Structure 1
Amino acid sequence: MNKKQIAILSIGNTSHKDEGIALYASRYLESNYSFQPEVDIIHGDVARKKLLNVFMEYQEIIVLDVITIEDAPGSMYQFPMETFRSFSTNEDDDETGVLGCLNLLERQGETLPKVTLLAIIPQSIESGTGLSSSLLKPFDAYILMIIKSLEDKGISCEEKAEKQTLQNIVADLTS
C-alpha cells in the first residue's frame, strides 16, 4: 500500500475550553497557509475506525493536542512517539484514542507511521468555549512551532493573502 506522506491530526473538544486549542490551530493552519508538498489536515472528533485508518494511510503524522503535565499553562512540548507513548494510562487501552490505536496497530503487526506530538499545557478543560487567556497569548507561538516542524520536514509553508483571525475560527467552531 502506498502511503501518503504527512498529515496533521488535531485532537480536542471545543466545548471544554482549552481542550479545543488543537482544533483551533488546525483550522487556523488550513485557513491561513498553503503547503508544498500538500499536507492533509484532519480535524479531531475522528471515530475509532477512521482514526485507525489515518494511522495506516500516512508515513508521518503530527498530532496536535493538550497534555496535562506539571508545567505552566501555555507551555509547549514536542514529543516523538516513543516518548509520548510512555505517558500511556489504562484509559489508553480502550483503543479509541491515539495511543490506543497505535497499540492496537502494533499488536496487529502493522507498520506504524512516524508520529510526533506537538502539545500545549491547558489552563482549563472545564465546560465552556473559547480559550483561556493563558492560551490566547502563546497561540501564535504554537502555530509557529507547528510551521517549524513542517519546515524541518522539507515542507514549504506559505501564508495566504487573506487570513482568518483566531477569534473568527473560535466563533465558527463554537457556534
Structure 2
Amino acid sequence: MNSKRILVLGIGNLLWADEGFGVRCVEALNAGWVFPPQVELMDGGTQGLYLLPYVQEADCLLVFDAVDYGDEPGMLREVVGDQVPRFMGVKKMSLHQTGFQEVLMAAELTGKLPAELVLVGVQPVELEDYGGSLRDAVKAQMPAALEIAFKWLAHWGATPDARTGLAERINNPALAIDLYEGERPPADQAYRLGDARFLNMEAS
C-alpha cells in the first residue's frame, strides 16, 4: 500500500459567493468518490493556523481555493511546488488566505512542509454577495478542477473509486449546495450585504 499521506483541502468562505469554490470542490469529491485510507478530504474553511497540524502530517497537499491572480473571471490555474505559497499571497482577498500562507510558512519553519504541493485555484467573479453562491463561470470550472485533482491523486498512487452510496458529509448538512442555493431569496428580495438565514433575523 502507498504510504504517502495525502491531504486534499478546500479553503474559503461559503458565505461570500465565489470564495466558496475550494470547499465546494472538496464536497464534490467526497460526494462522488471513495478514497484510499491515506487520503484525507477536509473542509478547511477559514480556520487558518488551526490547519497547521494537518498540513504538517501530510506528505502531499492539494489545495482548492479562489485566488485573485488578475486573470479573466472564472479562469482556472494549477500551481505546483514552491510557487504555491507565492500564489497564495498574490493578492489577499480575505483573511483566510493570510492565515493559510502563515500555515505554509509555519510548516516550512518546523521542517514539516509537505514534499509535494499543488494549488488548484480559480479567478473569482463575485465576492461581495453575503449568503450568495458560486457564480456560473466559477461553478463551471469545478469538473476541470476535480480532473486536476484526480491526475495528482493517480500520480501519488491514490486513485479513488466511484461512490455507489450516499457519503457522510464533511461539513454541516445545511451547507449542501442544493439546499443552500434553494433557500437563497431571489435577488429582488435579498439584502445583498447579508442574509437573514445567517444573521438570525426574520426576513422582512
TM bucket, shorter chain: 0.7 to 0.9
TM-score by length of 1: 0.81
User: By how many angstroms is 1:38 displaced?
Assistant: 3.8
User: By how many angstroms is 1:148 displaced?
Assistant: 1.8
Q: Which piece of structure 1 moves more, 80-89 or 143-152?
A: 80-89
1:133 aligns with 2:133: no
- Structure 2: any 5+ residue segments left out of the alignment? 168-174, 184-204
For this pair of structures, how many residues does the alignment match?
169
The percentage of aligned residue pairs carrying the same residue is 22
User: By how many angstroms is 1:96 displaced?
Assistant: 5.8
Equivalent position of 2:52 in the other structure = 52
Equivalent position of 2:20 in the other structure = 20
Contact 2:47 2:99 in 1 (8 A): no
Choose the corresponding residue for 1:157, options 151, 156, 160. Answer: 160
Contact 1:35 1:155 in 2 (8 A): yes
Contact 1:18 1:130 in 2 (8 A): yes
Judging changes above 3 Å, is the alpha-carbon distance between structure 1 residues 172 and 81 closer, same or farther for their aligned structure 2 residues?
farther
Contact 2:21 2:139 in 1 (8 A): no
Choose the corresponding residue for 1:118, options 116, 120, 125. Answer: 120
Measure, in 2, the Cα distance between the counterparts of 1:150 and 1:125.
Answer: 30
Equivalent position of 2:176 in the other structure = 169
Contact 2:14 2:23 in 1 (8 A): yes
Contact 1:31 1:163 in 2 (8 A): yes
Measure, in 2, the Cα distance between the counterparts of 1:103 and 1:69.
Answer: 20
Deviations 1:65-116 (A, max 9, x none): 0111122222211112311222436979x99622111212333x32311221
- Structure 1: any 5+ residue segments left out of the alignment? none
Measure, in 2, the Cα distance between the counterparts of 1:132 and 1:89.
Answer: 22
Q: Which piece of structure 1 moves more, 42-51 or 61-70?
A: 42-51
| CA RMSD, 1 decimal | 3.0
Q: Tell me which stretches of 4 or more aligned residues in structure 1 moved more than 6 Å.
A: 89-92
Measure, in 2, the Cα distance between the counterparts of 1:117 and 1:63.
Answer: 5
Higher strand share: 1
User: By how many angstroms is 1:48 displaced?
Assistant: 3.8
1:143 aligns with 2:146: yes
Which has the larger Rg?
A: 2
Q: Which piece of structure 1 moves more, 5-14 or 40-49?
A: 40-49
